[in-house]
Amino acid sequence: MTAEVGRLLCRLAEIADPGSRGFELDDRPGGRAIFLVRRGATLAAYVNSCPHTGGPLDWVEDQFLDLDRRHILCATHGALFRVEDGHCLAGPCKGQGLTAVAIVVAEGEVRLAKED
């Protein structure tokens, strides 16, 4: 991931509030897929992998939120996750969480940050 630190993902204005957007960080097989989710003052990034199945959370491109647009939804089995911290509130992986991805927002741009 070191080569991608600082990589521009998108402009903040390109993500609806509330809304979400997916990204492929590496187009090679087994590459890393992440997504951004925005709700109010919260902007978070997570690896696009359900802790229950390991599969992607979205069936439709860039749609990671439930119908009320309050929680992140795994389209495979309906698990609901908090936007703020990725904690699973309901579903077969209740109590587990999504893997966070460090981002920074500066001058209206959303970029990958250096991870510890």
The residue among 49, 59, 53, 36 whose CA lies nearest residue 92 is 53
Residue 8 has pLDDT above 80, yes or no: yes
Say what the pTM is: 0.89
pLDDT digits (tens, 9 = 90+) for 33-60: 999 999 998 999 999 999 998 899 998 9
CB atoms closer than 10 angstroms to residue 89 = 12
* pLDDT level of residue 6 (50, 70, 90 thresholds): confident
Give kind and range of the element (H or E) at residue 110: strand 109-112
Question: Which CATH number belongs to the domain containing residue 12 in this structure?
Answer: 2.102.10.10
Phi-psi region of 86 (alpha: psi -120 to 50; beta: other; left: phi over 0): left
pLDDT digits (tens, 9 = 90+) for 98-107: 999 999 999 9
Domain total in the chain: 1
**Parent domain of 17:** 2-112
User: Omega before 18 cis (within 30°)?
Assistant: yes
Q: Contact 98/58 with Cβ under 8 angstroms?
A: no
CB atoms closer than 10 angstroms to residue 21 = 20
Across the strands, what pairs with 112? 103
User: Tokens 């001058």 belong to which residue?
Assistant: 107
Q: Contact 51/60 with Cβ under 8 angstroms?
A: no
